[in-house]
Chains A and B, each alone.
Chain A
Amino acid sequence: MSLFFQTLISGLNLGSIYALIALGYTMVYGIAKMLNFAHGDVIMIGAYSVIVTVSSLGLPPVIAILIGIAFCALLGVSIEFLAYKPLRKASSLAVLITAIGVSYFLQNIAQLIFGTQQLAFPKIINLDAIKIGSVQIDGITLVTLCVTAVIMVLLTLFINFTKIGKAMRAVSEDKEAAELMGISTNRTISVTFAIGSALAMIASLFYGATYTYIKPTTGSMPGIKAFTAAVFGGIGSIPGAMLGGIMLGIIEQYSKAYISTTMSDAIVFGVLILVLLVKPTGLLGKKISEKV
């Protein structure tokens, strides 16, 4: 029984990280109708930014995190401006290939600056583990869960009740009509990239704290998993990304604990295939009706 709950906690922890990253994928897809495969690499850049600010420059963690968030938001906006904006009217395949190109570009930049060796991620969250019965919850896990929950609530409020949130929903439904109502789609897309990248940075903190080492390809696997989570939950849907991320994390940890560590990824992707067979739009995905 202890293993069951312990696994649930670690599943929630991993799932929170996936969910935070998946939000970036799903928001960008919902609004710009593109898959930003460079999104995973923003996590890696975010993690390196903490290594530079904390380990090398010795800045206090809070400042380091704020710098990292600002840097990643700026990075996301710049990527969109330089790589994707010129392709606004191009085919989605061209944009997809470009995104993959940006992903390799970021990985190679990181390799050039930091080398191929993995670097230790500084310990910036020092919190004692708590014990509930026989289940032990690490301090970092607790922070991850709480911060993710708060972010999800804030993001939901932001999307539903602010002017920019409404603009984002309008643009995601009908870009042209939104333009004609005076909304700048370019600005809305920039804001979306900024938010998505900032969330990726926060995810990188938890990822770094859980896995403790960072290398230039660190972003790929969580990136792919988070993309899977976004599709699993229904790409374009924000609650879907949250649910998909958490469920994927839990499934992965249970597979590791009860079935097989080496097979866990296969099981995760198997579940994805099953869900998509039964519900092609994902768990909370909207039905796409073609207008004739």
Chain B
Amino acid sequence: MSNNYEHKPKLVPYPSNAFVPERDLGKRPVLEVNHLGIDFGGLTAVDDFSIIVGRTEIAGLIGPNGAGKTTVFNLLTNVYHPTRGSILVDGMSTAGKSTHQVNHMGIARTFQNIRLFSNLSVLDNVKVGLHNSMKENFFAAVTHGFGYGKAEKKADKEALEFLDFFHMADMADAPAGSLPYGAQRRLEIARALATSPKIILLDEPAAGMNPSETAELMENIRRIRDNFGIAVMLIEHDMKLVMNICEGICVLDHGKVIAKGTPDEIKSNPKVVEAYLGKAKEA
């Protein structure tokens, strides 16, 4: 693994001991997590997890297998309700909210193993994502047909724009399950973006991708940040990807944060090397 990256992000201190990218300074962080923890019976899966993510930051969450990374994502989306700690999305607490309400507050996510609605068309998958920004309800659907048709057309147009962003507008009518693997991964991101999030959580977006697909993914992640002006937080095992695009990295091991910082800081952190990157150095 080469250590020469052109990518040298700079983090500046946010109020006290946390850091955000310089351009996000003075704006409220999109995600503020304090002392988050969850126990499953006697097992503590995640403990004392704190992180601040800037409004347009690309943040990385890394760690060895079983470190609790996906559990953190499940906690952030209230799929699991935390035993301890607090989560603020754009300053609002997610405590007691249901998963779909957390999505409405601005968190969207993708899954480690793709979970598209595979019997729905590609377009309909994105339209399901658009769901919460469409205002019609059941009765509107029944009562005013014309207005509804108009809203549907608008949704179609918007959904196509999301597909176009990932160069897959021509696949709109195919069933999502019939797409090739890489396209399914892109569709999952498009579907999540369609819920107009403030932060998108990507769970191993590069899993199973070849180097050229991974390069395209990195480009896409940057475009997501720049075009939508949102934050991205990703779990990834591909160190090249993480070190190349993440600004702040958080390393998790056995459910605890063992290091936080810029890619350079993380690479030179002996604790991280011991827990995680040690393996990569041998290669």
Contact = CB atoms under 8 A, between A and B. Distances in A.
Contact of B117 (A163, A173, A286): A173
Contact of A178 (B118, B128, B148): B128
A184 B117 contact: no
Interface string B135-152: 011100100000010001
Interface stretch (B11-19, B95-103, B266-274): B95-103
A169 B117 contact: yes
Q: Is the interface of A mostly helix, strand, loop or mixed?
A: helix
Interface of A: 158, 161-164, 166-167, 169-170, 173-174, 176-186, 191, 286, 291
Interface residues of B, number: 34
Interface stretch (B1-9, B42-50, B105-113, B211-219): B105-113
A179 B104 CA distance: 10
B124 A166 contact: yes
B54 interface: no
Contacts of A184: 98, 100
Given A164-B141, A166-B131, A170-B128, A180 B118 contact: no
Contact of B118 (A166, A173, A181): A173
Contacts of B115: 174, 176-177
19 contacts: A163-B131, A163-B155, A164-B138, A164-B141, A166-B124, A166-B128, A167-B131, A170-B120, A170-B128, A176-B99, A177-B117, A179-B79, A179-B103, A180-B100, A181-B191, A182-B129, A183-B132, A184-B98, A186-B98
Contacts of A166: 120, 124, 127-128, 131
Given A173-B118, A180-B108, A181-B192, A167 B128 contact: yes
A175 to B, nearest CB: 10
B117 to A, nearest CB: 5
A281 B130 CA distance: 33
B75 to A, nearest CB: 13
Given A166-B131, A167-B131, A185-B100, A180 B77 contact: yes
Nearest to A291: B113
A125 to B, nearest CB: 24
Most chain B beta-carbon contacts within 10 A, residue among A173, A177, A286: A177
B56 interface: no
B109 A162 contact: no
A183 B131 contact: yes
Most chain B beta-carbon contacts within 10 A, residue among A163, A182, A183, A291: A182
Most chain A beta-carbon contacts within 10 A, residue among B79, B100, B118: B100
B134 interface: yes
Contacts of A185: 100
A32 B136 CA distance: 23
B138 A191 contact: yes
